[in-house]
Each structure stands twice: as structure tokens, then as C-alpha cells.
Structure 1
Amino acid sequence: MPVLVIVGDRDAMFDSRRTARRVRECVPRATVRLLPEVGHAVFGQAEPIAAFLRT
């Protein structure tokens, strides 16, 4: 099953770098986007999500 994970690297609630690393290890074919300078609220990702869903 296709998996897309989008997280901000400055999330104050979760350790997003660790989450991204764990997803990459546990779901090798997952698409993981760790966004620089982005916190817990991730905005402006509609197009990347739509592109992922079209594939």
C-alpha cells in the first residue's frame, strides 16, 4: 500500500526526525518528506499530496 508521510523538522510535539527515520526503516517503499523549518502545523502540501495520490 502506498504510504506518504509529511512532517516538519521543527515539530514541538513530536520528534519528527525520529518518526521519519522509523517510517523509512519499517516501510521501505514509503515516501517520506521531512520539511525544513516547519513545525507541527504543516500547510501548503495539497499539491504534493494530490501528486502522490495520482501515482
Structure 2
Amino acid sequence: MRRKSTKIATPTLGAMTVIFRQRGFKRPKGCAGIYMKGFNDAKEKYKKKAKTIDGS
């Protein structure tokens, strides 16, 4: 039986914690939290930028 892929469309805190734990990080929950903070900030900036380009 084939192993289930760990690749996901949009990262979540839980999914990133699992990935960092598999990679052997010392504090996977903390690393995942910081990663998600940056990801969400970038997503907001992208939405604002796209909105100004559209002119909506």
C-alpha cells in the first residue's frame, strides 16, 4: 500500500508542526508558529497589493 503524501495545498499550524517534527527541529511547535505568522502576513500583503492593482 502506498504511503499517504504529506504535501498540502495551504499550510496549517498542525501540518507544519508535523513536518518540522519529522525534520528533527528542537521546537517544532514554535518554529511552525513563526512560519505561519510570516505566511499569513505575506498573504495579507499579497491581497492588499492585488486589490490596489485591480482598482477595486
| More strand as a share of residues | 1
Tell whether the structures are fold-level matches, with TM greater than 0.5.
Answer: no
Higher relative contact order (CA 8 A, sep 6+): 1
| More helix as a share of residues | 2
